[in-house]
Structure 1
Amino acid sequence: MNTELPSGWTCTALSNITDVPDQCIPQDDESFVYIDISAIDRVAKVIQNPQRMMGKDAPSRARRRVAAGDTLVAMTRPNLNAVALVPETLDGQIASTGFDVLRPRSGIDPRWLAYTVRTDDFVHTMSKLVQGALYPAVRSKDVRSYVTPLAPQAEQIRIADQLDLLLARIQACNDRLESIPAMLKRFRQTILKAAIKGNLTEEIRTTKKWSSEWAVQPLAKLGEVGRGKSKHRPRNDPRLYGGEYPFVQTGDVAKSGGLITKHHQSYSEFGLQQSRLWPAGTLCITIAANIADTAILDYPACFPDSVVGFIADPSKCLAEFVKWSIDVVKEDLEALAPATAQKNINLAVLKNIAISCPAVAEQIEIVKRAKALLSIANRIELRYDAAITLVRRLAPMTLTKAFRGELVPQNPADEPANTLLAKMAAERADKARLPKARQPRQSRPPRTPTKAATMTKSRQDHDVMGQPYLAKHLKGLGAPASAEALFKVAELPVGDFYKQLAWEVDQGYVRENETMLESNHEA
């Protein structure tokens, strides 16, 4: 942290300028709004769509009574910076114990605190203090030990006012830029549809004496269609890999931008013997996990049976034209995939896709014109990438400037921050000397006991091993649940439970949402 602060500023721990709200237990008949970590919009730093519930339905983490002007700091995964200022509309509601609730003391502008915990320095400091593997988190004392610059009270208000204005403008700019990718996607789709319908060459078709009647043929009639090969088992046998033969997988196809120029794995001679080396120019089409992603090989490569290769007959078609024809019907092909744990389509379905092809000469002209139009979209995308990268840095840069005292001019007449701290310390000392009123212990009315969780399952069971077992339980619960709640219904020993959970998260069946888990499996 920069210690070269303006005159009248000082540095202090958050614990010196905040209070700790009392915890509470909502009564069963109490209706309240519950603020969980998932309710925080991490981009806008606001609370969105908190959940109204009755006390009898409240989770055990619903314990922090909040007030307007409090700052909520999620202690789980602090690198995600789920923080927000509590608005007037949520005054008196209840937040999760997954938050540290910073209540500003007299003389501290609530917005000053909220902006403090949005700074890069705060995020980086907290990220270095995390503990735990499954749910890496910091403690409340870590948050409150953070040392922050403190401006005089009057300057806090001036800075917060200026930040409100500037960050709102930055967010508006960001929102406008964020609409561009969807616009580019629609633009590209329009180009491809125009290409395969003949709209791009319509005005020269008569001059060139090209037929307006295009032949419609199944893909299998336009060239060679075949699945990739990876016969050897187990597939992770180290003898298969590390050689000179590129091994292209579904992820490489999806991320290639339409032309495969790099890969992340390679086959050895042993690997090549159980596979096939496809030539450059082969159209790769994914048929498992990601359906109908397409890309053309820039060099010879092998690929597994989750990828189909198409080698175009040059007398009938161009690989680019066929690629675009498949790209246009991608959503239709995805709809044909059965709703299983991993989506896939049959090779026969792909072979029978109807492709409408003009003469090769017209295809060449169509590809030429379409590429020229697509290059415009590509240039716009490059400019967008540069712009959004800059805009995303504007907010952190503006906050850094604010907390160095460079955002607004200082006023020598402002009461120094050290004087403000001294007043707060005196108030705290006076309060400590007052006798404390004994608070009656708050408790819930007794509830009907539930049946204890039994452990009748094993990870070796056929419906558990290799299956979205926990994801199905989460779907049955009907809402995101904590690991503790999921464990109670899973009927697995604790060791098996966490092994299965880690596997399902890795496979994408279960999604981690801060402190909650939710099903990502379409049953």
Structure 2
Amino acid sequence: MREGWEERPLSEVCQFDPPKAEVRGILGETDLVSFVPMAELGILERQTRSNEARPLRDVYKGYTYFADGDVLLAKITPCFENGKLGIARGLRNCAGFGSSEFMVLRPGPDITAEYLFYFLSRDEFREAGMPVMTGAVGHKRVPKEWVQSTSIPLPPLAEQERVVAILDEAFDAIAAATANAEKNVDNARELFEQGLRIGFTSLTDSEQLTLQEVATTFARGKSKHRPRNDPSLYGGPYPFIQTGNVREAERYIVSCDQSYNEKGLSQSRLWPTGTVCITIAANIAETAILGIDACFPDSVIGIIVDPGRTTSEYVEYVLRFFRERIRAMGKGSAQDNINLGTFETTKLPFPSLEEQEKLVKRLDLLAAFSKELEKGFDAKLMALAELKQSLLARAFSGALTVGHGDDAPHTPSLRAEGEATQGRRTGGGSLRRSAPRDDGGKGAPRDDGGKGASRDGAGEGTPPENQPPIPTIPAAAKRSAGTQGPRTDG
């Protein structure tokens, strides 16, 4: 650890779950306060979103209290694991209430809210907390005692501000690069969809036929036994797929996680490799082609094509093109669904076999190209996420600010900005902010209002209007992190 840094448990530098009684002496029953449900707490978003205000009397009981500058940490699964976390800012009357599943950490005089936020943002913190979560399945929570006992490397305040400034600059650039890569992933997918549209809208002169007219078999799957999850049906050599397998397949279904035994097969049907599957319930109009012989239930229609009229690949593509039209036919019931009757009068384009083969080849090439692009951008997204964690690891080891001493340029004091911009409320006065003390943290008010406001625009992740599509990581962050940053050549 760097000279001048120390390890301290969070319980010594933060007050946990400050008492809501402190707001009673400031606000009246009808005064408005911000309300932040769990859905509004972002995933690793520094500033919490607060779009709703409620009278104090409506939220005082049953909800968690917090004030401007407090750090909110989701403690329940899966929100904790997903990184739901943020700093309360801009609250109505400087006070807020929210989900009972929030754990509130109020920074003391020795730590800034931003430095604490970045510490809690680390994958390492969440990964260490997951094994100690307690409670019933689906309702597990990370214990407050574990968070309180977690040690944080703590440099002087000026050093914390330098760490935050470097991370802010780097993370802003990473956010812009991430947004660009995500857009490129969407563009790669749209490239194929556009090719699909062009391919099938050009078939205006083709013969229009129903699926029954181009198939030797067109029927729903079979699973007669009730209950369908009877264990006596499973554990044999016959693959059993369901709607989820069709949705998740990359065109061909080549494996599954369930199988029928002889008893299971006797109440179902084994469909041959090459069967086109289309879902008619739960996940409407999803399609795939069997790459193995398999059984499926009546929530899936099977199409065994007539090889003299069409191919499995062409039928899967044409169904994919008409997916939204087919889904629209299933609207109007309590649960969207379609059935065999949906296709009785639905005409689809079927040109000559030669034209079908040419179109399938073009779409196959476009699909492969689109998929390669998508994989490349997905890899870039993964590299950017790893870069963030690498920067955080270096930040809390002390390595990030080596060479960024007191004489190095850095942002203005976060604490000073906090005093200037936070803590105001209508009618004068502000909430008292208690900080941990040697006597157990029972309520000494903080001199600075405890706001620790961020520098202007920090953490928003929004690039300037003239920002290039994929910006490089700032030079200061590169030097400190020892990385070349993501490539920007697409």
Is 1:150 aligned to 2:159, yes or no? no
Which residue is 1:218 aligned to? Answer: 210
Equivalent pairs, count: 408
Q: How does 1:120-519 map to 2 (within 5 A)?
A: 120-133=123-136, 134-198=138-202, 213-223=205-215, 224-340=217-333, 342-409=335-402, 428-429=437-438
Relative contact order, higher structure (CA 8 A, sep 6+) = 2
Whole-Å Cα distance in 2 between the matches of residues 435 and 86 of structure 1?
21
Report the alpha carbon displacement of residue 433 of structure 1 after superposing the two structures with TM.
Answer: 11
1:85 to 87, 91, 102: 87
Check conservation: 1:220, 1:352, Cα contact below 8 A.
no
Deviation at 1:434, TM superposition (A): 11
RMSD over equivalenced CA pairs, Å: 2.8
Find the aligned partners of 2:201 and 2:358 in 1 and give their Cα distance.
13
Greater displacement, 109-118 / 71-80:
71-80
Q: TM-score, normalised by structure 2?
A: 0.76
1:72-110 CA distance string (max 9 Å, x none): 222223223221122356661213353333222224232
Distance 1:333 1:181 in 2: 26
- Rate the CA distance shift 1:50–1:130 in 2: closer, same or farther, 3 A: farther
Cα deviation for residue 161 of structure 1 reads 0.7
**2:16 is the alignment partner of 1:13:** no
Partner of 2:418: none
Q: What TM-score, normalized to structure 1? A: 0.72
Distance in 2 separating the partners of 1:303 and 1:162 = 55
Query: For 1:349 and 1:176, how far apart are their aligned partners in 2?
Result: 41
Aligned-pair identity (%):
32
Deviation at 1:116, TM superposition (A): 1.4
Tell whether the 8 Å contact from 2:35 to 2:50 is kept in structure 1 after alignment. Answer: no
Counterparts of 2:442 and 2:298 in 1: how far apart (Å)?
76
Secondary structure in structure 1 of the residue aligned to 2:285: strand
**Aligned partner of 1:198: which letter?**
S
Mapped to 2, the partners of 1:413 and 1:388 lie a distance apart of 35
2:116 counterpart letter in structure 1: L
When residues 397 and 61 of structure 1 are mapped into structure 2, their CA distance, relative to the original with a 3 A threshold, is farther
**Preserved contact between residue 214 and residue 357 of structure 1 (Cα < 8 Å):** yes
1:194 aligns to what SS in structure 2? helix
Aligned letter for 1:36?
Answer: P
Please, which moves more after superposition, 240-249 or 252-261? Answer: 240-249
Distance 1:220 1:131, change over 3 A: same
8 Å Cα contact 2:108-2:436 kept in structure 1: no
Q: Extract unaligned runs of 5+ from structure 1.
A: 200-211, 415-425, 437-523
C-alpha offsets along residues 399-455 of structure 1, whole Å, 9 cap, x if unaligned?
1110011111167889xxxxxxxxxxx99359989999xxxxxxxxxxxxxxxxxxx
Note the alpha carbon deviations across 1:269-316, whole angstroms, 9 max, x for none: 222222222221111111111111111111222211111111111111
Task: Call closer, same or farther: CA 1:433–1:141 in 2, change over 3 Å.
Answer: closer
Gaps of at least 5 residues in structure 2 are 408-434, 446-490
Q: Deviations over 1:21-63 (max 9, x none)?
A: 3323564311121223322111434312442112343262345
* d(CA) in 2 for partners of 1:164, 1:22: 31
Alpha-carbon contact 1:72-1:101 (below 8 Å) kept: yes
Counterpart of 2:95, as a letter, is Q
Q: Distance in 2 between matches of 1:42 and 1:80?
A: 7
> Counterpart of 2:81 in structure 1: which amino acid?
N
- Over 3 Å counting, the alpha-carbon distance change for 1:344 and 1:59 in structure 2 is farther
1:112 alignment partner, one of 115, 118, 122: 115
